[in-house]
Structure 1
Amino acid sequence: MRTTQPLVRFCLTATAAALPLALAVPAKAAPGISVSTSGSTVTVTTSACPTMDANSSFGRASLLSSGQASFAQGRQATLSGSSTTQSAAWANVSPGTYTVIVMCNNGSTAGTQSIIVSGAPTPSRTPTPTPTRSISATASPSRGVMGGFGGTAKEYGTLTVVGGGVLVAAGLGTTVWYLRRRAKPHRL
C-alpha cells in the first residue's frame, strides 16, 4: 500500500497554487509619507492628501515621542502645499526617536514612520549652508518584503521575490521527487 500518493498530490497542488502568487506583479502601493530631519527640524512630505478643506488645510500631522501612543498626544502641525504635494514641519525638536503620523482631511491615515533626531548642528561664524541628512522609508513595502537587521531595512523588489519563489518551488519539487523515488521498490 502506497501512502505517499496523497502527499505527492498535495505538494504538487500547493506548488501549482503558490507559483502564480509568487510571480504576480504587486499592485501599486499608496504614496505614503517621507520624513526627513535637518538639525532639530523634522519635515514630513506626502502626496496622499490631495483634498483641501475650508481652512486651506490638507490634513494634520503629529510628531509623537516615545511614550505617546495616539495621534492626539503628539505635537500637531497642519499640512500645507498643493494637491500634488503636502508637507508639515516641526522646529526645535529635541534629540531622540519619534514617530510621525499623517492624517488626511477625509480621516484616512497617509502613513506612519519613525525617525531619529540627532540634534541641532553646531553654529558656525560664517553663514554656510548646513548639511541636510534625510531619512526616507515607507511604513510598508511598496513591492516585495522588507528585511534588515536592527534599525536597518531594505525593500526587496519583484525580481528578488520571484527568485525566492522559484527556489521554494525547486525545493518542493526536489522533495517530491525524493519521496517518490524512495517509495518505489528497488529491483536488483
Structure 2
Amino acid sequence: MRTGQMLARAALAAAAVVSLPPAPAGAAQAGPGISVSAVGASVEVTTSTCSAMNPDGSFGRASLLAGGQADFSRGRRATLTGTSGTQSAAWTNVGAGTYTVTVVCKDGTTAGTQAILVPGAPTISATTLPSPVGSAPAGLLPARPPSPSPTPSRGVLGGVGGATEDYGALTLLGGLALVAAGTGAAIRYLRRRTGPSRF
C-alpha cells in the first residue's frame, strides 16, 4: 500500500515538471540575488553573481529607479566594479524616497531587483543654547573695556623728563631760593666742623 502511494506521488511530480513551459531562448534569468543598503543620501548594491568581466574591467551595470520608473535605461545607471568574487555599484546625492535597484550582468542576466527606502541627507538645524547658570541678564553685562589709544603717527617725542614742562617765573624763583638756602646751610655746617675746637 505504501509503495503504491509513493509511486503515485512520483508520477504526479514528474507530470508537473513535464507540464511546465520551457523558458524562451535568450530570456534573462534572475540570479541568486543582490544586497542593497542606504546610508544617508548614498545607496550601494553588492552581488556575487556577475563574475564575467568586460574588457574595460566592469562586470555589468546597475540602475537606480525612482518611483514610477520601470525601464532599466530610465534610472540612474552605475558601473558594476569589483572582483570575480564580489561586485558593487554606488550612487550619491540620492533624494529621500523609495527606489528600486536592478543589477544586470555583462552577459545580460539579471542578478536581482530589490526595493530600498532612502532616508536622504540629514538636516542640520541651528539651536539656541541656554545661558549658563548664574550668568548676568543681558542688560546687566559689564561694559566693554575701552579700546587702546591709537599709536601716535609721529612716534614718541623725546625730552628730559619733566624739564620740558613750562613753569611760571614765581615757581622758578622759589626753587632758586631753596637751592641757595640749602647751599648756605651746608657751608655753615662745614665751617663749624673744620674750625678750632674749644675745650
Q: Compute the TM-score of the two structures, normalised by the length of structure 1.
A: 0.50
User: What percentage of aligned pairs have identical amino acids?
Assistant: 62
Question: Which runs of 5 or more structure 2 residues have no equivalent in the other structure?
Answer: 14-29, 126-199
Whether 2:18 is the aligned partner of 1:17: answer no
> Counterpart of 1:100 in 2: which secondary structure?
strand
**Closer, same or farther: CA 55–123 of 1 in aligned 2, 3 Å:** farther
Q: Matches of 1:109 and 1:30 in 2, distance apart?
A: 6
Structure 2 match to 1:4: none
Report the AA paired with residue 9 of structure 2. A
Whether 2:21 is the aligned partner of 1:46: answer no
Whether 2:99 is the aligned partner of 1:107: answer no
Structure 1 match to 2:66: 65
Which is higher, the Rg of structure 1 or of structure 2? 2
For each residue in 1:35-56, what CA deviation from the matched residue of structure 2 results, as whole angstroms up to 9, or x when unmatched? 0000010000000000111111
Q: Matches of 1:48 and 1:117 in 2, distance apart?
A: 24
Q: Compute the TM-score of the two structures, normalised by the length of structure 2.
A: 0.48
> Counterpart of 2:64 in 1: which secondary structure?
strand
Report the AA paired with residue 33 of structure 2. G
> Counterpart of 2:73 in 1: which secondary structure?
helix
Q: Matches of 2:69 and 2:85 in 1, distance apart?
A: 30
The residue correspondences of 1:1-188 to structure 2 (distance < 5 A) are 17=9, 30-122=31-123
For each residue in 1:47-74, what CA deviation from the matched residue of structure 2 results, as whole angstroms up to 9, or x when unmatched? 0000111111000000000111110000
Contact 2:31 2:110 in 1 (8 A): no
Contact 2:39 2:119 in 1 (8 A): no
CA shift, 1:17, in A, is: 2.2
Q: Would you tell me which structure has more strand in proportion to its own residues?
A: 1
- Alignment length, in residue pairs? 105
Q: Matches of 2:124 and 2:33 in 1, distance apart?
A: 34
For each residue in 1:97-138, what CA deviation from the matched residue of structure 2 results, as whole angstroms up to 9, or x when unmatched? 1000000000110000001111113469xxxxxxxxxxxxxx
Contact 2:31 2:109 in 1 (8 A): no
Cα RMSD, aligned residues only: 2.7
Q: Matches of 2:79 and 2:124 in 1, distance apart?
A: 29
> Counterpart of 2:62 in 1: which secondary structure?
strand
CA shift, 1:31, in A, is: 2.9
Report the AA paired with residue 94 of structure 2. V
Question: Which runs of 5 or more structure 1 residues have no equivalent in the other structure?
Answer: 1-11, 22-28, 125-188
> Counterpart of 2:9 in 1: which secondary structure?
helix
